[in-house]
């Protein structure tokens, strides 16, 4: 589902115009991104969590030079907004294949 589809669904369900709904959805997304940039996890009870993933330092081999290199510890890249992963609630996982 795209952001435009989410905005349309919310606008249809609430009766609020799409422009106002788009502003609210974008404000929500900006608030989540800002929290993650500050290093804070975001918890939405009954839905799931956006949790910052830390990557541990590791060693690798540069096979062209036959050397061992160390890759430092880091967070996932912020630029792509893959810094956080979304964990669905178990209840949502169970209901995703049920027919309506």
- Per-residue model confidence as pLDDT tens for the chain (100 residues): 899 999 999 999 999 999 999 999 999 999 998 998 888 888 888 778 888 888 888 898 888 888 998 888 877 644 333 445 566 666 665 666 555 5
> 């799931």: which residue's tokens?
48
With beta carbons less than 8 A apart as the criterion, state whether 60 and 68 touch. yes
Tell if the pTM clears 0.85, that is, is over it.
no
91-94: long-range contacts at Cβ-Cβ below 8 A with a sequence spacing of 24 or more? 92/47, 92/48
Provide the 3-class DSSP secondary structure of residue 81. coil
Q: Is 18 exposed, middle or buried (0-12, 13-18, 19+ CB in 10 A)?
A: middle
Provide the 3-class DSSP secondary structure of residue 50. strand
Gap between the Cα atoms of 41 and 90, Å rounded: 19
Nearest alpha carbon to residue 50 among 68, 32, 66: 32
Q: What pLDDT, on a 0 to 100 scale, did the predictor assign at position 80?
A: 37
């Amino acid at each position: 589902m795209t952001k435009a589809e989410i905005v349309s669904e919310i606008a249809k369900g609430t009766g609020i115009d799409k422009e106002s709904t788009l502003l609210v959805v974008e404000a929500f997304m900006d608030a989540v991104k800002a929290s993650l940039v500050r290093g804070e996890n975001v918890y939405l009870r009954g839905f799931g969590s956006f949790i910052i993933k830390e990557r541990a330092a590791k060693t690798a081999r540069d096979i062209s030079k036959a050397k061992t290199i160390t890759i430092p510890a880091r967070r996932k890249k912020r630029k792509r907004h893959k810094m956080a992963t979304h964990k669905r609630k178990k209840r949502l996982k169970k209901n995703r294949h049920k027919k309506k």
